[in-house]
Structure 1
Amino acid sequence: MPTPDEASTSAAPPPTFKSLGLIDPLLEALEQIKYKTPTEIQSQALPHALEGRDIIGVAETGSGKTAAFALPILQKLWEEPKGLFACVLAPTRELAYQISQQFESLGSAMGVRCLVLVGGVDRMPQAVALAKRPHVIVATPGRLNDHLQNTKGFSLRGLKFLVLDEADRLLDMDFGPDIDQILKVIPTERTTYLFSATMTTKVAKLQRASLSNPVRVEVSSKYQTVSTLLQYYLFIPLVEKDVHLIYLANALASNSIIIFTRTVHDAQRLSIILRTLGFPAVPLHGQLSQSQRLGALNKFKTGGRKVLVATDVASRGLDLPSVDVVINFDIPTHSKDYIHRVGRTARAGRSGKSITMVTQYDVELIQRIENVIGKKMDLWPTDKEEVALLRERVDEAGRVAVNELKEEAKAGGGRKRRRDDRGGRDEKDRDDDVVEAGIPTKKRSKGRR
């Protein structure tokens, strides 16, 4: 039997943004961007955040956590409109831009000014923009640290809020020392929000170092895929992966497709093979400059390119438009990464397909993924004769790709070193893909400056 308290709770109407205590300018902005009702993480976090408490949020990408930390910051900014107010640390450049856009949308009635500080772009315009005193900085830790050390007149001494978003990924990507450095130079009297999909021992240690008497807010973290997603696998010998990928691209030619690879090298190589064979493909990975990365995303979002060949830099956090098919060229080693990848399709109630290429070395991994998602994948049907007809052309396109990458490596080596020297110390392209990349980079072996 439920207690009277439990009975009254179950009968209580669902909270609204107004009932959670948000001010009118924010309610207007929420209405404009069509946020009707709070998500679970927002309902749980906002009352504590508006009381001024530190928050630990355990929530997946896509749970609405950006608004859960942006809204209380903007509400406090409305009450005390002072200079540089909040700093959000994000693991990837694309996520930093996305968070900044959400702050600007939610703070549109307040005229909030946001600045993104990420690597891969020139430091000087960022330094000029810092001098104009933005309200909110959204940064990758390496580039923020660079500005703290080298940009005259810039400090975080007046900071009121610090947000560590996707803390598990920040720490997985070797940002720990940069974060330690940032924590040393910001006020101890501040409000801190830490959001993470998983609570690892590293994240728990960071929590103890950075938060004061926090409230823990956790939403259902069971990893699962949506019912509208049809999940398939393709069992093939390792040496036949390229030709089967082209077979799939042919069969799905009218669809928008994301192909996930484990390494930067394969993302580059496969996009060249696809383009050589007439498929409009574009790569996305951490070794592209920021303008190239944003350009690739934009071409894919607007339909200018039907195929995006990406490393895991695109698997989490990015709100991509309707994606029809996700192909895992390389099977991810962690089941949760599989769920993040295939979650790029079948969004918002739409249907979608995922196809995972499984070689003789991947059987255990696919079984582990099926265990976690609680269902067996179906076998994708293939026509062996069609695959055989494609083999010669794919082999030739593969040779073209190898030669093109060799030429690029020769031409780009000197240019890249000069750009790194000019651009100063950024996040060292430490997206997940570079950590696992097949392309050796001298920059990684130099150690920290």
Structure 2
Amino acid sequence: MSIDDVIAKSSFSMLEGKIDARILKVLKSMGFERPTRIQAETLPHLLQQKDLIGAAKTGSGKTLAFLIPIVDNLIKHKITQKHGTFCIILSPTRELALQTFDVLTKLLVEIDLSHCLIVGGEKKAKDVIKLQKGANIVVSTPGRLLDHMQNTEKFNFKNLKHLIVDEADKLLEAGFEKHVNGIVQLLPTNRQTVLFSATIDSKVKNLARLALRNNPVHISVKDDTISTVSRLQQGYCICPVEQRLAWLYKMLKKSKKFKVMVFFSSCKSVDFHYEFFKMHCKATVLSIHGKQSQARRKEAYHSFIKAKNGALFCTDVAARGLDIPCVDWIVQYDPPTDPKEYIHRVGRTARGLNNKGNAVILLRPEEEEFVKFLEKEKVYLDKYSFGDPPGEVQEMVEDIVIKNGVFKILARKAFLSFLRCYNKHPLNKIFNINNMDLKSAAKAFGFREQPDVDFLNNKKR
């Protein structure tokens, strides 16, 4: 019998007598009856407290794969607050940490284990109180946690038995390598260490050698035939640069009954498009990007989770790990930096065992080569046609730019940040600013006359 056959016949009920009954009860109440592939393959090893390196696509169910064994082990050892911190879970972003914490909170609804969330943007004094009281499970971003480990008195982690490094590749991309190394060096060596990552590159392997000491089990559930999940219907749309805003207007109007995530290349572009659609088109829109306050990002994240329809405008801060239920469409309005980022973006939909999703990327006519580039990574797109975009949208945004000085400043900043992202794009042979008509590009931000672009003055046009 193949591993696929085994997984198809497996269920969480098979763990009866092996893990605490309250965990199984909560899993059932959360609607989880059968494990995903990564859960089915890793749980037997993790329940035996083995070190593990797990490679799986985003949206594969990694969070429960590591939470179930941790909670069960702490129950078995009758851990209480006085024992201090027994588990640390590292996440690359505040949103992913919050999401992991939310799942953990649901899992512990009938279980008395203390847990806390430690991320930047919150008052440090509150963190200190939580840690000094004795948080058995700490979910955190690396920078803030290392600070507390070095400076917070009575933060007791000398009994720690579990270290989880989630989205390890993203942690390293975000520049957290020194922080993670610092954390590892301060922790007890007699522990279980688990590292999950969507991709296993040389940097992740180096981190694994440092953090994992006990001949780790290697689990990979990647599909060699395709880089995105089979339940995802994905395509691309060719659109002249000056018609981009009108195209997005039509796309959101067509999908107003659905839940949509729209990815932009910069925070300023998110702000501009959010202002236009929310305030001037009265669309149901939320926004998340890295320069917002923690409180605003948290509010937008929870609001979109609860929403039945509407759009979330975001940068790639939302591309990794966020488990937002029932996202129907992923729109890549601005190009990703590489195929890996493309895959992470579309991974926000078609999550779980039976869910389906749709994705579309907007390309200029000069950028259609990106479709062939993705095929080399085993990602295959259909060509979509949305028809002619509505002309009145262009008139509307140009009118607002002329009459509203604040909006004009927002539009100019967004236009310049859009060009800067193209100017430094890693795939500049495809996403090439030198074959872009800047006057036409400015129209997509509501300008009848192109604003001055001083950082391109020396470029060959």
Deviations 1:376-417 (A, max 9, x none): 42232322xx5333212122345678834858999xxxxxxx
Match in the other structure for 1:154? 155
Alpha-carbon distance, 1:305 to partner: 7.4
Q: Secondary structure at the match of 2:390?
A: helix
Q: Contact conserved, 1:269 with 1:405, CA < 8 A, in 2?
A: no
Q: Contact conserved, 2:331 with 2:361, CA < 8 A, in 1?
A: yes
Q: More displaced, 370-379 or 54-63?
A: 370-379
Match in the other structure for 1:29? 26
Alpha-carbon distance between aligned partners in 1 of 2:24 and 2:200, rounded to the nearest angstrom: 32
Counterparts of 1:179-258 in structure 2 under 5 Å? 179-212=180-213, 213-222=215-224, 223-226=226-229, 229-258=232-261
Match in the other structure for 2:286? 282
Counterparts of 1:110-125 in structure 2 under 5 Å? 110-125=111-126
Match in the other structure for 2:442? none
C-alpha spacing 1:400/1:191, structure 2 compared with 1 (3 Å): farther
Alignment of 1:260 with 2:260, yes or no, is no
Alignment of 1:362 with 2:367, yes or no, is yes
RCO greater where, 1 or 2, for CA within 8 Å and sep 6 or more?
1
Aligned pair count reads 405
Deviations 1:24-56 (A, max 9, x none): 232223233232122222222222222221111
Alpha-carbon distance between aligned partners in 2 of 1:296 and 1:32, rounded to the nearest angstrom: 26
Alpha-carbon distance, 1:290 to partner: 1.4
Alignment of 1:337 with 2:341, yes or no, is yes
Alpha-carbon distance between aligned partners in 1 of 2:99 and 2:107, rounded to the nearest angstrom: 12
**Corresponding letter in the other structure for 2:105:** E
Q: Contact conserved, 1:127 with 1:151, CA < 8 A, in 2?
A: yes
Match in the other structure for 1:420? none
C-alpha spacing 1:47/1:250, structure 2 compared with 1 (3 Å): closer
Compute the TM-score of the two structures, normalised by the length of structure 2. Answer: 0.79
Alpha-carbon distance, 1:373 to partner: 4.6
**Corresponding letter in the other structure for 2:345:** R
Alpha-carbon distance, 1:65 to partner: 1.5
Match in the other structure for 2:450? none
The two structures, once aligned, show a CA RMSD in angstroms of 3.1
Alignment of 1:318 with 2:322, yes or no, is yes
**Corresponding letter in the other structure for 2:253:** N
Q: Contact conserved, 1:60 with 1:221, CA < 8 A, in 2?
A: no
Q: Contact conserved, 1:281 with 1:306, CA < 8 A, in 2?
A: yes
C-alpha spacing 1:254/1:65, structure 2 compared with 1 (3 Å): closer
Alpha-carbon distance between aligned partners in 2 of 1:372 and 1:294, rounded to the nearest angstrom: 34
Match in the other structure for 1:445? none
Q: Contact conserved, 2:401 with 2:407, CA < 8 A, in 1?
A: no
Compute the TM-score of the two structures, normalised by the length of structure 1. Answer: 0.81
Match in the other structure for 1:428? none
**Corresponding letter in the other structure for 1:53:** K
Q: Contact conserved, 2:235 with 2:384, CA < 8 A, in 1?
A: yes
**Corresponding letter in the other structure for 2:266:** T
Q: Secondary structure at the match of 2:248?
A: helix
Alignment of 1:377 with 2:382, yes or no, is yes
Q: Contact conserved, 1:269 with 1:401, CA < 8 A, in 2?
A: no
Alpha-carbon distance, 1:371 to partner: 4.5
Deviations 1:277-306 (A, max 9, x none): 322322111111111011112332333972
Q: More displaced, 11-20 or 370-379?
A: 11-20
Match in the other structure for 2:44? 47
Alpha-carbon distance, 1:178 to partner: 0.6
Alpha-carbon distance between aligned partners in 1 of 2:4 and 2:364, rounded to the nearest angstrom: 51
Alpha-carbon distance, 1:114 to partner: 1.4
Deviations 1:254-296 (A, max 9, x none): 4332211111111111111212232232211111111101111
**Corresponding letter in the other structure for 1:200:** D
Alpha-carbon distance, 1:190 to partner: 1.1
**Corresponding letter in the other structure for 2:218:** R
Alpha-carbon distance, 1:8 to partner: 12
Alpha-carbon distance between aligned partners in 2 of 1:252 and 1:316, rounded to the nearest angstrom: 23
Q: Secondary structure at the match of 1:110?
A: coil
Alpha-carbon distance, 1:321 to partner: 2.8
Alpha-carbon distance between aligned partners in 1 of 2:374 and 2:109, rounded to the nearest angstrom: 42
